[in-house]
Amino acid sequence: MRKAIIAGNWKMNKTPAEAAELVSELIPLVKDADCDVVVCVPAADFTVVGEAIKGTNIKLGAQNVHFAKSGAYTGELSADMLKACGVEYVVIGHSERRQYFGETDKTVNLRTLAAVEAGLTPIICVGEMKDEREAGYTDIIVEYQTLMALHGLTDEAIKAAVIAYEPVWAIGTGLTATDEQANETIGVIRKAIERKYGKDVADAVRIQYGGSMNPKNVKGLMAQPEIDGGLIGGASLKAPDFSQVVLYNK
């Protein structure tokens, strides 16, 4: 049995003061969660959030990581830096990074390797654009993105990794993949991992759904056998909403 994992992706939201307020509201609300709970916050919030969640069941996540150990990479953060800030999870290859910042499958792979090497758990995002789904390319796209991201990882590292299937057309749009669409595509991702790495690995890796997941649709999505959790954008910015998603089974 895979343990569910619900992660909030705050994106570029919340100053440290706002972050402290949100997380202090969240802590008591999610303390009885059965799933793993993660908040992926802007680097500016690592310290306040990290301090606030000490001793709680909430884990700290980042939203990106560079692949070099150190060096002349203005504006980037290394995996060791994240680790030293108490970060345990890191989102890699989010579609916003791919669309607006030129991330490629190659850099997603390098970032994943660096994260794993430093002992961070990657949350690797894959997903098709609207026109790609309409043209019938969803499976090819998600299989390719997934296998490219995992290239060079050990079986053990893949088992411990998290993949987030986020159809780009469902992000921040209020459109959600249907329960069946999400389940089917996540099944495609798992099958691709199985073909390359074997059933043992494919059965262990946790695959989330992301894209307008909220308190209303979480139950249906989480009832699907392939869906192991969620990566939540908008609904993670309000403690009552995020906690309802986290407590989807209560």
Binding site for ligand 13P (CB under 6 A): 9, 94, 166, 171-172, 210-213, 231-235
Q: Which two tokens stand for residue 60?
A: 């700290």
78 touches 68 (CB < 8 A):
yes
Give the C-alpha separation, 77 to 200, whole Å.
33
Q: Where are the alpha helices (DSSP H) in the chain?
A: 16-30, 46-52, 79-84, 95-100, 105-117, 130-134, 138-150, 155-160, 179-197, 199-204, 218-222, 239-246
Residue with Cβ nearer ligand 13P (55 or 102): 102
Give the C-alpha separation, 85 to 79, whole Å.
10
Smallest gap from Cβ 164 to ligand 13P, in A, equals 7
Smallest gap from Cβ 12 to ligand 13P, in A, equals 12
- How far does the chain reach from its first CA to its final CA, in angstroms? 19
Smallest gap from Cβ 231 to ligand 13P, in A, equals 4
**Read out DSSP for 95-117?**
HHHHHHS---HHHHHHHHHHHHH
Q: How far is CA 60 from the centre of its chain?
A: 12
Smallest gap from Cβ 205 to ligand 13P, in A, equals 18
Residue with Cβ nearer ligand 13P (97 or 201): 97
Catalytic positions, written as ranges: 94, 166
Smallest gap from Cβ 161 to ligand 13P, in A, equals 16
Residue with Cβ nearer ligand 13P (105 or 117): 105
Give the C-alpha separation, 71 to 181, whole Å.
43
Residue with Cβ nearer ligand 13P (197 or 209): 209
Residue with Cβ nearer ligand 13P (201 or 214): 214
